[in-house]
Structure 1
Amino acid sequence: MQFNEANSGEDDLIRLLLKRQSELNSLLEITRAINKNMATPILIQMLEVICQNYLHVGRLRFLIEDEGSFVCIAKYGGDFEPTGDLHKACQQLKKIKEPASIADSKDPILSQYDYFIPIYQQNKAVAYALIGNFGSSEAMVSNDLNFMQTLINVILVALDNKKLFNQRLVSERYHREMELAGEVQNMLIPVRTHK
């Protein structure tokens, strides 16, 4: 009897170690893609693949804040709801700051999901994930939700960095065009010096 319990404990430990290794490999692949400056759709597709195949999430909605409104950038599983309706449903949960179960929600949209994962930056909600048909074991739910939150945070930081980089490029291009316009203007209308 003790031998079986010891083997069971070892098996659980081996499964946990393999799961941790898979999590690290997933994070490594995401960060490699970010470092290669992969396009946003590829990063989102990677998130979906990890959620579907590794974390056994059957239904996902991932909304991010973009210039004052929320857009759904990843969705699979079930009937798709309008983004505005999803955002309104998530707004009901704005007091929740950590991943939480919403399976018992009275809201018709939220009740179709198992978990809600809010992402906050500087006390401002910048993203929401709704997870449904979640195949995680009870012992691993908290770990899996935290891992999803980590993945989403990494991807959000990468998307923010892309946005900042593009804004900087636009600003540099504008300044260069203004310098060039000034040079052309000086060539067309030379500045006269009075003697």
Structure 2
Amino acid sequence: MKASRLAKNLEICSFKIQRIKEISEAINDNLETNKLLDLFKVFLNEKLEIGQFVFYSCANKEWELLSDFGIKGTPDLKDFKFYNTFKDIQIGDYQIPGVTTTFEVLIPVFHHKKLLSLLFLADPEEKIGISPIIKHLNFIQSLTNLVSVAIVNKRLHIEEIEKERLNRELELAAEMQSSLIPEGNFSNKYLKLNAYYQPHNLIGGDYYDYFIDESRVVFCMADVSGKGISAAIFMSNFQAKLHSLLKNTDLRLAELVEILHSEIDQVSKGDRFITLFIAEYNFDTHLLEYVNAGHNPPMCLHDNEILLLERGTTGLGMVEKLPKVRVGSQVVRKNDVIICYTDGITETQSENGDWFGEERLMDILKKRGNCGAPIKINSEIINQTKSFQGKMADHDDFALLTICFN
């Protein structure tokens, strides 16, 4: 009798080891999730004779029905807060909305204190004798743990692959955007120019540019509403249109801005807008003409006085019909300096919650403006904002364009 019972126990142990081995091999072979669940269902129903069960798993903070068998109705369990209180196997009466079955056993699966899955179990009503659930309970728990963790790992692996793909796409987009932005240094006998751009993420929606021929320089600073890939794409389209207009037409600044506004309004349908400062400096007349379309007003150090270049119109794409474009003008003298920037600089926050602000930027211009080297002025601005920021993370794109006139 004892020998017979021992042989039976050994047979059961061998059976359980074989099932664990099969599941482990399926996981190692990277079996698809639906096939792994089919295997799990076969083990529960056909091998262990579990008559009724429902298996739920958590995916991205939402609960997903993975598998069920032998029940009447459609499980619709959405509120799992109640089950977070259980840390081990529960015996009782459990109901699932949409199902008439009363489940006697609940197996919660936790990993690092996080609830991963729930397995509800019930014997069929006509079952007589020892419940296979009770008989194999610890084994079912081990099997459920193994399958639950495998499914989560598969999901994380897929998410990691997707994340790597998106990161690579971002890197390629950043390379493309970088190739569209002109070199950060330029000088001739009329001026010296230095520019700096640091997107908040790999790519951003800030933009500087300059165009030079034998008689003039046109330079601009722009900021598109929003951040990320969509903002960068929108800004690239804007840049392409601006380049085309400057290369193929002789439009005055007001006309140029009006056409750009019409293009933006047609493309964005009011969902996005661009703030823009654009200026043209004539090498022969020393006249600077500009339009400020809702952008942070550039600062011009002129005769030791700081002027704000504010004249213009509203941001492009903000309204359907652009208000009258007013063109500002300023005769530029030797040693004058202009700083164009985006709000990522003035809105840099300290650990105390203070803004860097325009006053600090003006102080830098007053103290360093007469050095005649735009790269030194920009370096001072960057260093001071980083020092002011302390341990606070960047919250926005960061763009500077500084010109010293000879």
TM-score, structure 2 normalization: 0.40
Are the counterparts in 1 of residues 103 and 120 from structure 2 also a CA contact under 8 Å?
A: yes
Counterpart selection for 1:125 from 112, 115, 120: 115
Are the counterparts in 1 of residues 56 and 63 from structure 2 also a CA contact under 8 Å?
A: yes
Are the counterparts in 2 of residues 55 and 136 from structure 1 also a CA contact under 8 Å?
A: no
Distance apart, 1:93 and its partner CA: 5.4
Between 1 and 2, higher relative CO (CA 8 Å, sep ≥ 6) is seen in 1
Are the counterparts in 2 of residues 99 and 146 from structure 1 also a CA contact under 8 Å?
A: no
Moved more, 13-22 or 164-173: 164-173
Q: How does 1:8-157 map to 2 (within 5 A)?
A: 8-84=1-77, 94-102=84-92, 105=93, 112-133=102-123, 138=130, 142=134, 144-157=136-149
- Please tell me whether Structure 1 or Structure 2 has the larger radius of gyration of its CA atoms: 2
Distance apart, 1:178 and its partner CA: 1.8
Aligned equivalents of 1:187, 1:139: Cα separation in 2: 70
Quickly say closer, same or farther: Cα 1:125–1:171, change in 2 above 3 A: closer
Quickly say closer, same or farther: Cα 1:48–1:136, change in 2 above 3 A: farther
Distance apart, 1:78 and its partner CA: 2.5
Aligned equivalents of 1:137, 1:144: Cα separation in 2: 14
Unmatched 5+ stretches in structure 2: 188-406
Distance apart, 1:193 and its partner CA: 4.2
Per-residue CA deviations over 1:130-181 (Å, capped at 9, x if unaligned) read: 1111669649755611111111111111112112211211221122112222
Question: Which structure's residues are more often helix, by fraction?
Answer: 1
CA RMSD of aligned residues (A): 2.8
Are the counterparts in 2 of residues 70 and 83 from structure 1 also a CA contact under 8 Å?
A: no
Quickly say closer, same or farther: Cα 1:70–1:185, change in 2 above 3 A: closer
Aligned equivalents of 1:57, 1:64: Cα separation in 2: 19
Aligned equivalents of 1:95, 1:187: Cα separation in 2: 55
Partner of 1:4: none
Partner of 1:168: 160
Per-residue CA deviations over 1:104-154 (Å, capped at 9, x if unaligned) read: x38586972232212122333321111111669649755611111111111
Aligned equivalents of 1:167, 1:31: Cα separation in 2: 22
